[in-house]
Amino acid sequence: MRALRLLSLLACGLWLGACVPSEAPDVSNEPAPQLGEGEEVPIAEVEPIYELPPPVDHAVSEGERESFGPADLAPDPNASSRKFRRLTIDQLQASIRMVTGGLYWRNGNNDEFERLKTTLGVPNYLDTTNEDLDASLVFQKFLGDGVRTICTEAIENDKLMEQGDRIMVRHVDLGLSWEDADEQGRAAIDANLRYMKLRITGQYVAPDDELGVARLRWLLRSVTRATGDTSRGWRAVCVGLMSSPEFYLY
């Protein structure tokens, strides 16, 4: 038995010896080379960063960029400013009725904005006493639902009226598309876009201001081409203006 133990110990010793490398790596810490006076530590050469062109202020109009020149990055400390405020629901309802000739978001004979007042932040004076005037996602969701219904009704009403009596599309025939219009017809389309922007947002666009109507014209043409119905294009312009911050913020 003793001889068997000795043989086992001998076998273990031989196995451990085989696992040890014949030459152990040199892990000694060599001292760093001493630098002489005026010498610097060598640094690997780095490729120079590509020089980017300076930023240019521009706007996009009809697929082309136009420069507006330099602008001040720091605000003027003497200029007066205030935080944007959202219309209250009562103000929103009154504004919608004003710009559409008396229309409102209705389900049957019920005013949906009246039904959703508590959801939209109007205080009930039991749980809340101050109106929530944040332009929250809930507000924008229900505003979008409302103006789509209202603008549909507004354009349908315009179809039944004489051109001079219409509320939204007053300066051009409802069936005239941009692609089919001559120079005079396109000028009338632009005039109606300026009229709708002034009526809905209160922003005047001068006749020679191309940027003021470029995006609205693009929206009109895109929806008209996608649907084949010019009245759907004018509805999209109405929805875009009434759901924009320019309408419900002041």
pLDDT tens per residue across span 160-181: 999 989 999 999 999 999 999 9
Bridge-based pairing state of the strands 58-61 and 106-107: unpaired
Distance CA 157, CA 162 (A): 10
Q: Is the pLDDT of residue 249 over 60?
A: yes
The first and second tokens of residue 147, run together, are 């103006």
Query: What pLDDT is stored for residue 171 in this prediction?
Result: 95
The identity of residue 226, as a single letter, is: A
Q: Pick the more confident residue, 84 or 194.
A: 194
pLDDT at 197 over 60: yes
- pLDDT at 194 exceeding the cut of 50: yes
Distance from C-alpha of 238 to C-alpha of 149, rounded to nearest angstrom: 11
- Please identify which residue in the block is written with the tokens 């996608």: 226
Whether 56 has a pLDDT exceeding 50, the answer reads no
Task: Check residue 65 and give its pLDDT.
Answer: 57
Quote the pLDDT of residue 8. 57
What is the model's pTM? 0.67
- Residue 153, pLDDT > 80, answer yes
In the structure, what pLDDT confidence band is assigned to residue 77 with cuts at 50, 70 and 90?
confident
Question: At 24, is the pLDDT very low, low, confident or very high (cuts 50, 70, 90)?
Answer: very low
Q: Quick: pLDDT tens for 60-73.
A: 555 555 665 676 77
**Is the pLDDT score of 81 beyond 80?**
no
Decide if pLDDT at 53 tops 80.
Answer: no
Mean pLDDT of all residues in 24-50: 52
Q: Classify residue 158 as exposed, middle or buried by CB count within 10 Å of its CB (0-12, 13-18, 19+).
A: buried
Domain ranges of the chain: 89-248
pLDDT at res. 74: 75
User: Per-residue pLDDT for 226 more than 50?
Assistant: yes
Burial 190-221 (b: 16+ CB within 10 A, else e): bbbbbbbbebbbeeebeeeeeebbbebbebbb
Q: Is the pLDDT of residue 25 over 70?
A: no
